[in-house]
């Protein structure tokens, strides 16, 4: 049995299909998706998961219809305002990866304020991936390293895995042990491509708005049964 993962990352998928199946608008699915976010944050905190990352808005999601982007931004804003006391009460630290600077000001402001206000919390880290793309993060890391080389602070030969990892958006987080994707889709969609090199992947047909504590427990149970070999053979792992 594996111990509890240190970092669980979730690709929240299926909001649109959940709404369509009920004759609703995509925004209804996102609204219920935000409720699932609240449930899962609470459950993860209670279960003692140190880091939870949620893929809330990808760099590619800017290509969605403006009305849907507006719905998602409103939900994010509401979450950041309404969860303030919850995060404080439960000792949850909020962080972000991606390019939150691209978000509209009415989201960016309260998001930055909540990030700052929860900085010292140690109960759990909740990381929201916002305007996030793994390739974009790798490109930013390459630019950072190139600047360091260009200014003589770094020798090209000194660049190894550790230096690249330390230049990614996720530099302050442990790599994800478990990546969950809901809604039956089985792909990473530009999420943590470097960091998830040895993550266990868990796919479920449950749509994100229906995801909650029980589904998280099922994913954790499956993770517990996996053998993580990191390239070694079974005998040397045992």
Query: Which residues carry out catalysis?
Result: 13, 61
Cα distances (Å, whole numbers) of residue 51 to 136, 158, 176, 220: 22, 30, 9, 14
Residue nearer to ligand FPP on the CB measure, 124 or 167: 124
Residue 123 to residue 111: CA distance in whole angstroms = 19
In the structure encoding, which two tokens stand for residue 81, read together? 């305002």
15 makes contact with ligand FPP (CB under 6 A): yes
Which of residues 34, 107, 114, 145 is near ligand FPP by CB under 6 A?
34
Which of residues 30, 45, 93, 108 is near ligand FPP by CB under 6 A?
30
179 makes contact with ligand FPP (CB under 6 A): no
Rounded to 5 degrees, what angle do the CA atoms 217, 4, 173 make?
110
181 makes contact with ligand FPP (CB under 6 A): no
Which window, 71-79, 105-113, 163-171, 214-222, contacts ligand FPP (CB under 6 A)?
Answer: 71-79
Residue nearest to ligand FPP (CB): 16
Residue 42 to residue 63: CA distance in whole angstroms = 31
Q: From 177, 208, 213, select the one nearest 11 (Cα to Cα).
A: 208
Residue nearer to ligand FPP on the CB measure, 56 or 168: 56
Residue nearer to ligand FPP on the CB measure, 28 or 177: 28
Which window, 15-23, 143-151, 160-168, 188-196, contacts ligand FPP (CB under 6 A)?
Answer: 15-23
What would the DSSP string read from start to end of 157-203? GG--HHHHHTTSTTTTSPPPSEEEE-TT----TTSSTTGGGGPEEEE
- 210 contact partners, CB below 8 Å, separation of at least 6: 18, 36
Per-position x/- string for 137-156, each x denoting binding to ligand FPP as judged by CB under 6 A, each - no binding = --------------------
Which window, 54-62, 91-99, 188-196, 220-228, contacts ligand FPP (CB under 6 A)?
Answer: 54-62
**98, 101, 105, 107: CA torsion to nearest 10:** 20
Buried/exposed 68-78: b ≥16 CB within 10 Å, e otherwise: beebbbbbbbe
129 makes contact with ligand FPP (CB under 6 A): no
Which spans of this chain sit near ligand FPP (rule: CB under 6 A)?
12-17, 30, 33-34, 37, 54, 56, 61, 72, 75-76, 79, 128, 183, 208
């Amino acid at each position: 049995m594996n111990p509890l993962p240190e970092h669980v990352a979730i690709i929240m998928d299926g909001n649109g299909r959940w709404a369509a199946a009920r004759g609703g608008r995509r925004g209804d699915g996102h609204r219920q998706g935000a409720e699932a976010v609240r449930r899962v944050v609470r459950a993860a905190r209670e279960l003692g998961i140190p880091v939870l990352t949620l893929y809330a808005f990808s760099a590619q999601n800017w290509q969605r219809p403006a009305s849907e982007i507006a719905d998602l931004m409103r939900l994010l804003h509401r979450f950041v305002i309404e969860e303030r006391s919850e995060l404080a009460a439960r000792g949850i630290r909020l962080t972000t990866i991606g390019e939150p600077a691209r978000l509209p000001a009415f989201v960016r402001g309260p998001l930055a304020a909540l990030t700052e206000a929860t900085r010292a919390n140690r109960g759990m880290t909740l990381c929201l991936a916002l305007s996030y793309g793994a390739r974009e993060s790798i490109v930013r890391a390459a630019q950072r390293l190139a600047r360091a080389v260009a200014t003589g602070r770094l020798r090209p030969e000194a660049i190894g895995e550790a230096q690249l990892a330390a230049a990614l958006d996720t530099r302050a987080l442990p790599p994800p042990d478990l990546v969950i994707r809901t809604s039956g889709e089985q792909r990473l969609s530009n999420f943590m491509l470097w960091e998830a090199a040895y993550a266990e992947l868990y796919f479920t047909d449950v749509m994100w708005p229906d995801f909650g504590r029980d589904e998280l427990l099922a994913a954790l149970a499956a993770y517990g049964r996996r053998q993580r070999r990191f390239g070694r053979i079974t005998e040397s792992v045992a």
